[in-house]
Amino acid sequence: MLKMMIGFFKDYFKYKDEVKKQKRWIAKFTTQKNYALNPSWMMSTNLEIWLSEMEKTFGKRYCPCFEPSNDEALNKKMLCPCEFIDDEIKEYGTCHCALFGSPDLDKAGWKASSDRLMSEYRVPLNLKNGVLDTRGMPKDSRRNLAVPDAMHQLKSTLNSYNQKQLSMIVESEQEAKNLEKIASFRGYTYSKEPKDDYYKVNLEF
């Protein structure tokens, strides 16, 4: 938890100018659509940081809950605010990320949606002897993408990982390409090994 808090504030100061830009369009959007913004400062700010990082890593403001796919039509739909927002607010009271929500959502409703989101990502990771196998995660019903995907599993692993090297097994070439962009942005050493039915990505921090 302490490492996560340190990471949050480190990223907050790193992206403070970008976060200000995110806050401006978010405020305009919530007013236009009559949505509410997550009342938790830490939750909303964390999502604004992730939006900033997605934009810097992948070149576009993708939803921070999902890494880009190999389907450009789907990727376009996942630009924040994504095309699934209305349906998800009807179902959950908030969008998938719990950034935007219904204007009449109470504190308990926000907490329930945030807890739902956290439960999706706080799953046991298949990490053994420095190898993280990211396959086999459940799929989001609207996007048909893994939750958590390889990108989020990497983030979760690094919250408590103390080694200088990590190998990751990913199912698709697109996931390997995404990890290459993440490695380039963060300054990691990257290599890729194609296998018969998966890709092995090696990272050095």
Is it true that the peptide bond before 81 is cis, omega within 30 degrees of 0?
Answer: yes
Same structural domain for residues 117 and 133?
A: no
Query: Which of 70, 76, 114 has the alpha carbon at shortest distance from 96?
Result: 114
User: Do 24 and 114 fall within a single domain?
Assistant: yes
For residue 1, what pLDDT is reported? 66
Could you tell me if 13 and 75 lie in one domain? yes
Check whether residue 22 and residue 60 sit in a common domain.
yes
Full domain range(s) for residue 172: 126-204
Residues 60 and 143 reside in one and the same domain = no
Q: How far is the C-alpha of 79 from the C-alpha of 62, rounded, in Å?
A: 4
Summarize pLDDT for 170-199 with one digit per residue, the tens.
Answer: 999 999 999 999 999 999 999 999 999 999
At 168, is the secondary structure helix, strand, or coil?
Answer: strand
Low-confidence ranges of the chain (pLDDT < 50): none
For residues 27 and 68, state if they share a domain. Answer: yes
For residue range 118-129, list pLDDT tens digits in order: 999 999 999 999
* 152 phi, psi to nearest 5 deg: -75, -30
Model's pTM, two decimal places?
A: 0.93
Is 201 exposed, middle or buried (CB count within 10 Å of its CB: 0-12, 13-18, 19+)? buried
| Structural domains counted in the chain | 2
Out of 121, 140, 158, a domain closes at 121
